[in-house]
Amino acid sequence: MSSTMSYYLLLIPLIPTLVFAALLFLPRDLRNRLMYVSPIAMGTSALISIIAGLTEFPGGPYSILRLDYRLATLGEMPLNLTIDVGPLSLIMLVMVTVIGTCVQVYSLSYMKDDERRGWYFTVMSLFTAAMLLLVMSGDLLLIFAMWEIMGLCSYMLIGFWYKEKAPRRASQKAFLVTRAGDGGFFVALAAIYAACGTFNINDILASAPGWAPWVAAVAALGLLWAAMGKSAQLPLSVWLPDAMAGPTPGSALIHAATMVAAGVFMVARMLPLFELTPFVLTITLWIGVATALFGAILACFQNDIKKVLAYSTISQLGVMFVALGVGSALAALFHLYTHAFFKALLFLGAGSIIHATHTQDTRKMGGLAQKMPLTTVCFTIGAFALAGVAPLTGFFSKDEVFAVIKYASNYPALVLACAMGVTTSLYVTKMWLRVFFGKAKTPHVHEGGILELAPLGVLAAATLFGGISTRAFGDYIGDIGVWPSWYMATISTCVTLAGATLGYLAVRGKFDRFKEPLRFVGAIMDNKLYLDAFYDNVIIKPYFIVSDLLWKFDEVVVDGIVNGVVALYRRLTRLTWRFDEVVVDGAVNGTAAAYLEVTEASRIIDESIIDGAVNSSATLSQRFGTLLRKAQTGKLQTYQRLAIGGLVLVLVLVVVLKGM
């Protein structure tokens, strides 16, 4: 246990984020040429994660990195984004980065001829980075943000070959269905913030016992609904089988390490909140049981290798929900962890097989064991882990789930879980026998290159030897679990063997005679439990009908009102025009005429009176001037005499007035 903060852990999500940011703005050609950057970066992240994970061994329930970033202050309350990394996060980081690296290295070969391969790696980087930050985050807001980024990335990956119709529809379906689940996340966030004013997970879980029971129930139900959307639980499972339309390595990432794992991980983090409201936990349990069982049964009826794997993912996620439903985060996370490795292995193996045989139909494959021995070995390890064969990881994690169910003394669930185990073993055996044995039906089959085989080898090794870590896993994440006994292991092995026998018989055609009487079952299965039909009829068709009605309403009522208003307006305009012409124009013309009259009168006044006055005053001054002119003789003496006369006059006046 390190005492200082391990800030270098921030590099783990930062490196793929930087790769994403760098590739995003490059032109397509350059991006395609730089695609190697993405797996290298992911490998670096994986290395850092593994080193960090080993440094912290043997782990425990503590934080090794806690960071708060204040996003905003709402009133007095700080709104923080928190990163809180403990050993649980570390183990998830190791899982995500290792699988991410394997998938990306594999993709280098698988996607090498695609014209948009650079974009594929860009999305993969963002997808993995979002999942990494999600497992590191210490508050629900950051989880929600990453949750949504993953929703977007899955949309882009599933719809990667957007020129065809099926991927387009599948991507929209996945996005809409998971969005429908996200509505629950919103409700839960609102309830949680109203109850305790923070999104920090530790604070929430600390204060949750003091909440009103119904608030806790609303929050738990909302989170459960969101997780059901993300982790493809019944009845929100419909998007996952269709999501197979995307590139196979992309499916591996979605099914193993990132998208679907997020739901289980989130519920596991918030499990103490669920435990406050036992009925929500019960709902979780039974949804898990139903999903696990129906997913497995549906997988039996699929012939498409990717569809089989898709339904097996749904089924295995159901198993994780069962573990959560009986209150064991440890069992759920351990199964999530082991499942991630062997499911990634299976998908990558399936990708190689599809590349080699150019078909996805298991009925058209066969005899691949001789042609592709290495792939066969790896795929077999994955398939046996899925079926729960000792000593592969799947065996330990599934037994762990069985053990916690038994510990909870929920025997109906245990029986159904065993039925699920039988069915799982059945479809795995059926698929395995069909693909690798019998006579070869496709020519020119050969192994993939080193870039395809190396990731398979790494994942196969992890699946083969991961079982040893069973105890250490519990200690590492700091959860003391109920570990399976020999008794449980025996039951589990019997279940697996029973399933395998049934699978063998099914491939040999022993059940063909039941096909006719049980045709209705096949019909139900072919229609995927009628879930799609249900959504079609209950949501999509009524939506169109309501849209149609609204359109009619729009056309008749709204358009009618608008047209009426227009007609009225035209009438009104005409009336106004008349008024204008008669009254206003009349008034204007009358005023103009009156004005002309007044002008004429004023002209006359001007001419006779004013001009007369001006002219007569001019004449008067002319007369006066003529009179005065006579005084100006021009003769010098005249002026002299006048001057003297004036002087004399002044003197006389002075004398007279002053009186000498």
Partner 1 sequence: MSVGLEAFMLLAAVLFALGLYGAISKKSTIQMLMSFELMAIAISINLIAINRWVTPREMTGQYFALFEMALAAAEIAIGLTLIVALYRRAQSEEVDDFTELKG
Given the rule CB under 8 A, which residues bind partner 1? Answer: 628-637, 640-641, 644
Q: What is the smallest separation between the CB atom of 624 and partner 1, expressed in angstroms? A: 13
Residue with tokens 């589990």: 492
Q: What is the smallest separation between the CB atom of 647 and partner 1, expressed in angstroms? A: 10
Q: CB-wise, 593 or 660, nearer to partner 1?
A: 660
Q: CB-wise, 213 or 634, nearer to partner 1?
A: 634
Amino acid letter for position 263: G
Q: What is the smallest separation between the CB atom of 600 and partner 1, expressed in angstroms? A: 45
The residues that bridge with 73 in the sheet, in sequence order, are 78
Q: What is the smallest separation between the CB atom of 645 and partner 1, expressed in angstroms? A: 10
Q: CB-wise, 28 or 641, nearer to partner 1?
A: 641
Q: How many whole angstroms separate alpha carbon 281 and alpha carbon 260? A: 19
Q: Which helix (H) or strand (E) holds 465?
A: helix 450-465
The Cα-based distances of 271 to 266, 280, 325, 388, 472 in angstroms read 8, 11, 9, 26, 21
Q: CB-wise, 570 or 641, nearer to partner 1?
A: 641
Closest CA to 458 of 374, 399, 370, 355: 374
Q: CB-wise, 527 or 621, nearer to partner 1?
A: 621
Q: What is the smallest separation between the CB atom of 642 and partner 1, expressed in angstroms? A: 10
Diameter over CA atoms, the chain: 173
Chain centroid to Cα 638, Å, comes to 122
Q: CB-wise, 30 or 655, nearer to partner 1?
A: 655
Q: What is the smallest separation between the CB atom of 636 and partner 1, expressed in angstroms? A: 5
Tokens standing for residue 454: 């190396």
The residues that bridge with 68 in the sheet, in sequence order, are 82
Residue with tokens 């980087």: 125
Q: What is the smallest separation between the CB atom of 660 and partner 1, expressed in angstroms? A: 17
Q: CB-wise, 4 or 632, nearer to partner 1?
A: 632
Closest CA to 227 of 144, 155, 286, 309: 144
Q: CB-wise, 615 or 640, nearer to partner 1?
A: 640
Q: How many whole angstroms separate alpha carbon 424 and alpha carbon 509? A: 18
Q: What is the smallest separation between the CB atom of 639 and partner 1, expressed in angstroms? A: 9
Q: What is the smallest separation between the CB atom of 599 and partner 1, expressed in angstroms? A: 45
**Cβ 181 vs Cβ 225: under 8 Å:** yes
Q: CB-wise, 616 or 633, nearer to partner 1?
A: 633
Q: How many whole angstroms separate alpha carbon 56 and alpha carbon 93? A: 13
Q: What is the smallest separation between the CB atom of 629 and partner 1, expressed in angstroms? A: 4
Residues 155-181, buried b or exposed e (16+ Cβ, 10 A)?
Answer: bbbbbbeeeeeebeebbebbbebbebb
Amino acid letter for position 575: L
Closest CA to 250 of 336, 319, 310, 334: 310
Q: What is the smallest separation between the CB atom of 613 and partner 1, expressed in angstroms? A: 28
Q: CB-wise, 70 or 629, nearer to partner 1?
A: 629
Q: CB-wise, 563 or 633, nearer to partner 1?
A: 633
197 phi, psi to nearest 5 deg: 70, 25
Q: How many CB atoms lie within 10 A of CB 151?
A: 20
Helix (H, G, I), strand (E, B) or coil at 304: strand
Residues 317-353, buried b or exposed e (16+ Cβ, 10 A)?
Answer: bbbbbbbbbbbbbbbbbbbbbbbbbbbbbbbbbbbbb
Q: CB-wise, 601 or 648, nearer to partner 1?
A: 648
Q: Using the 8-state DSSP alphabet, how is residue 538 labeled?
A: I
Q: CB-wise, 485 or 633, nearer to partner 1?
A: 633
Q: How many whole angstroms separate alpha carbon 67 and alpha carbon 137? A: 9
Q: What is the smallest separation between the CB atom of 656 and partner 1, expressed in angstroms? A: 21
Q: CB-wise, 72 or 631, nearer to partner 1?
A: 631
Q: How many whole angstroms separate alpha carbon 629 and alpha carbon 608? A: 31
Q: What is the smallest separation between the CB atom of 612 and partner 1, expressed in angstroms? A: 29
Q: What is the smallest separation between the CB atom of 621 and partner 1, expressed in angstroms? A: 15
**Cβ 351 vs Cβ 323: under 8 Å:** no
Q: How many whole angstroms separate alpha carbon 602 and alpha carbon 613? A: 16
Q: CB-wise, 592 or 636, nearer to partner 1?
A: 636
Q: Using the 8-state DSSP alphabet, how is residue 190 labeled?
A: H
The residues that bridge with 84 in the sheet, in sequence order, are 66
Q: Which helix (H) or strand (E) holds 43?
A: helix 37-55
Closest CA to 269 of 191, 176, 336: 336
Read out DSSP for 172-221? HHHHHHHHHHHHHHHHHHHHHHHHHS--BHHHHHHHGGGS-HHHHHHHHH
Q: What is the smallest separation between the CB atom of 603 and partner 1, expressed in angstroms? A: 40
